[in-house]
Amino acid sequence: MQAQMSVITLGVAALAPSRRFYAEGFGWAPVFENPEILFYQLNGFVLGTWLEAALAADSQRANQTRPGAFALAHNVTRAEDVAPAMERLVAHGGSLLRAADAPPHGGFRGYVADPDGHAWEIAFNPAWPISPEGYVRFAP
């Protein structure tokens, strides 16, 4: 099986606050939207934000909980870009989870939650190069 991820879909309580966070905070333009879901084309995959009830019905999973035990990440090319990116996300409906700082393993990072509590790590890792298209390469 090919090593790829096609779509990540996050359950959200309401589309408007989610759209504000992703479209205005990150600056991502929706490529599709209807009254239940928005899709954003990212580098190599699609991010969906879908009303929780519709996602539950589609997956036939009645007991969805949020947020889950995971964090999504958005890497930046310079350490000094972390804090401003976090501030922009908080200004567009996000919540600060952890202020930006330097972890013991190197780099610089902080955490912001979207309006539905999904955690986003905003990070700079000097060992992980980012292509001009925004692809991050794992480099041990």
What confidence tens digit (pLDDT) does each residue in 7-29 have?
999 999 999 999 999 999 999 99
Q: Is residue 1 part of a domain?
A: no
38 versus 105: the higher-pLDDT residue is: 38
Residue 140 inside a domain? The answer is: no
Whether residue 138 is contained in a domain is answered as no
Q: Using pLDDT thresholds of 50, 70 and 90, give the confidence band for residue 94.
A: very high
Domain count, the chain: 1
Locate tokens 């019905």: which residue? Answer: 57
Q: Assess if residue 52 is contained within a domain.
A: yes
- The residue among 136, 116, 113, 114 whose CA lies nearest residue 126 is 136
Reduce the secondary structure of the chain to three states and give it as a string.
CCCCCCEEEEEECCHHHHHHHHHHHHCCCEEEECCCEEEEECCCCEEEEEEHHHHHHHHCCCCCCCCCCCEEEEECCCHHHHHHHHHHHHHCCCEEEEEEECCCCCCEEEEEECCCCCEEEEEECCCCCECCCCCECCCC
pLDDT tens digits along 33-80: 999 999 999 988 999 999 999 999 999 887 777 677 889 999 999 999
Residue 131 forms part of a structural domain:
no
pLDDT of residue 95: 98
CATH for 19: 3.10.180.10
Least confident of 50-54, 121-125, 129-133: 129-133
Structural domain harbouring 30: 7-124
**Residue 66: per-residue pLDDT:** 67
**Domain-embedded: residue 87:** yes
The tokens of 22 are what?
Answer: 């992703």
Amino acid identity, position 102: A
pLDDT at residue 25, rounded to an integer: 98
Residue 133 domain-assigned?
no
pLDDT at residue 4, as a whole number: 83
